[in-house]
Amino acid sequence: MSAAPGAVVDACDVLVAGAGLPGLALACALADLGLDVVIADRAPIAPAVSAFDGFDARVYAISPGSSAFLDRLGAWSTLPADRIAPIETMRVAGDAGALLTFSAYDVGERALAWIVEERELRAALLARLANSGVRVMAPVGFERLVFSATAATLSLVDGRTVDARLAVGADGVRSWVRAAAGIVAEPRAYGQTAVVANFECERPHHGCARQWFLPDGGVLAWLPLPGSRISIVWSAPSALADELVALDPTALAVRVAAAGAHALGALDTITPPSAFPLHYLRLPAAVAHRLALVGDAAHGVHPLAGQGVNLGFGDADALASVLAERGPVTDVGTPVLLERYARRRAGPVLAVQSVTDGLARLFGARPAWVATLRNFGLAAVDRLPLVKNALAQPALR
């Protein structure tokens, strides 16, 4: 594809469009393979800045599999140890008293997951990116994306053009890249909004994550932070979420403590609440001609299992592995490689989406007989260690 007269053309092996956590990790991983990589974003690619002191309100539960991938990139070991908290046990309560528990010890892991702040992960990946040789183009608007037999060409509003053997859309659930490539997919709204905030606790959490399926169909999760602190994700009906965000800090702490049956005593709000609308996105395929999608551009999941960012890191790891194993194939955008990536990710993504969407729908159903059945099933699984282990393993990896 030829550029307009006078345009500056940058050629590369891979263009990563979108600098969220999966996009940053992928760019670093591909650069480690010796590929020529450009990462572009419409927003500045810079460390996250918090408007308040203390812990970032947006945290992620990083699975052992994702932490191993980040460790191979050289990013995990640079995270400050005093900003990470392990989830050693987990208690999941149904809306009628059923209880399901998980233990890292029972599945042979140091932790079921690690709670890490978004800004710390981003800072570690940006430090790694700075020494990777990846070319950064940001902030810059995206104007047009076209595909030819041999390249994907992204035209930027500043007049530059990027020609890549492979374009990767890593720009979120409402992906501009996905739409520009003609992949029509409208995310389905759950009718819920995730409210996140951090709290000081009267009693220690002992590394236990707690989750409640609530009678109104919402899901409340308490995630351990270092010290006697927790981060909460309350996936609430949108009207309730608006109400929670509008509460003053004292009233919010009282409301959250009561919703969690005062499991850790009194709470004290230490970060303002933020809200994120929740969507489900299922695509027939995460690839097209000279295009691969990763992260939320490829799939949207309910946060009740904390697997959104782990799926994104899994995408990045899988795509990098496919390109590393390409053998004599020199063209990184060739269909055979993209098909391998799509096959490798189809199963894990479908499994997580089926479980999370199924649970969200199941616990959102109102009939009394459904409530009895779902709570019976939750309690039954807790009495079957082999079944619990089978459920835990995909999330761990």
The residue ranking higher by pLDDT, 36 or 49, is 36
Neighbouring CB atoms inside 10 A of 139's CB total: 13
Is-contact 13 37, C-beta < 8 A?
Answer: yes
Residue 351 has pLDDT above 90, yes or no: no
pLDDT given for residue 302 in this prediction:
87
pLDDT in tens, 250-283: 999 999 999 999 999 999 999 999 999 999 999 9
Residue 8 has pLDDT above 80, yes or no: no
Q: DSSP character for 363? A: H
Q: Where are the domains of the chain?
A: 8-51+123-187+279-362, 59-118+190-278+365-396
pLDDT given for residue 370 in this prediction:
60
Where residue 304 falls among pLDDT bands split at 50, 70, 90? confident
Q: Report how far residue 121's alpha carbon sits from residue 49's, in angstroms, rounded to the nearest whole number.
A: 13
pLDDT given for residue 4 in this prediction:
43
Q: Report how far residue 235's alpha carbon sits from residue 276's, in angstroms, rounded to the nearest whole number.
A: 9
Give the alpha-carbon dihedral of 374, 376, 382, 383, to 10 degrees. -150
Q: Residue 272: name the closest of 117, 58, 48, 85 by CA.
A: 58
Q: Which residues pair with 142 in a beta bridge?
A: 156
Q: State the average pLDDT over residues 125-139.
A: 96
CATH of 8-51+123-187+279-362, one of 1.20.1250.20, 3.40.50.10860, 3.40.50.300, 3.50.50.60: 3.50.50.60
Helix locations, the chain, DSSP H: 21-32, 64-73, 118-130, 176-180, 238-246, 249-259, 308-324, 335-364, 368-382, 385-396
The sign of the CA dihedral 391, 222, 356, 321 is negative
The most confident of the ranges 82-96, 152-166, 379-393 is 152-166
Considering all CA atoms of the chain, what is the largest pairwise distance in Å, rounded to the nearest integer?
Answer: 69
Is-contact 8 160, C-beta < 8 A?
Answer: yes
Q: State the average pLDDT over residues 95-109.
A: 84
pLDDT given for residue 121 in this prediction:
96
pLDDT given for residue 396 in this prediction:
64
pLDDT in tens, 172-209: 999 999 999 999 888 999 999 999 999 999 999 999 99
Tell me which CATH code domain 59-118+190-278+365-396 carries.
Answer: 3.30.9.10
pLDDT given for residue 279 in this prediction:
92
> For tokens 């303002």, what's the residue?
272
Tokens linked to 16: 């990563």
Q: Report how far residue 157's alpha carbon sits from residue 179's, in angstroms, rounded to the nearest whole number.
A: 18
Q: CB under 8 Å to 134, separation ≥6 — which residues? A: 27, 28, 31, 37, 38, 39
pTM here? 0.91
Query: What angle, rounded to 10 degrees, do the helices at 335-364 and 368-382 form?
Result: 120
pLDDT given for residue 217 in this prediction:
85
pLDDT in tens, 359-395: 777 666 666 656 666 666 666 666 666 555 666 666 6
Q: State the average pLDDT over residues 33-51.
A: 86
pLDDT given for residue 356 in this prediction:
81
Q: State the average pLDDT over residues 90-96.
A: 83
Q: How much is the CA Rg of the chain, to the nearest whole Å? A: 22
Residue 291 has pLDDT above 80, yes or no: yes
pLDDT in tens, 223-248: 999 999 999 999 999 999 999 999 99
Q: Which residues pair with 136 in a beta bridge?
A: 39
pLDDT given for residue 5 in this prediction:
39
One-letter amino acid for residue 70 of the chain: L
Tokens linked to 187: 């995310």
- Mean pLDDT for the chain? 90
Q: Report how far residue 352's alpha carbon sits from residue 41's, in angstroms, rounded to the nearest whole number.
A: 28
Q: State the average pLDDT over residues 10-18.
A: 97
Q: Report how far residue 191's alpha carbon sits from residue 34's, in angstroms, rounded to the nearest whole number.
A: 44
Q: Residue 302: name the closest of 317, 285, 273, 280 by CA.
A: 280
Alpha carbons within 13 A on the beta-carbon side of 317: 18
Residue 6 has pLDDT above 80, yes or no: no
Residue 15 has pLDDT above 60, yes or no: yes
Residue 164 has pLDDT above 60, yes or no: yes
Say if residue 249 is exposed, middle or buried (CB neighbours under 10 Å; 0-12, 13-18, 19+): middle
pLDDT in tens, 305-316: 678 899 999 999
Percent of the chain with pLDDT over 70: 86
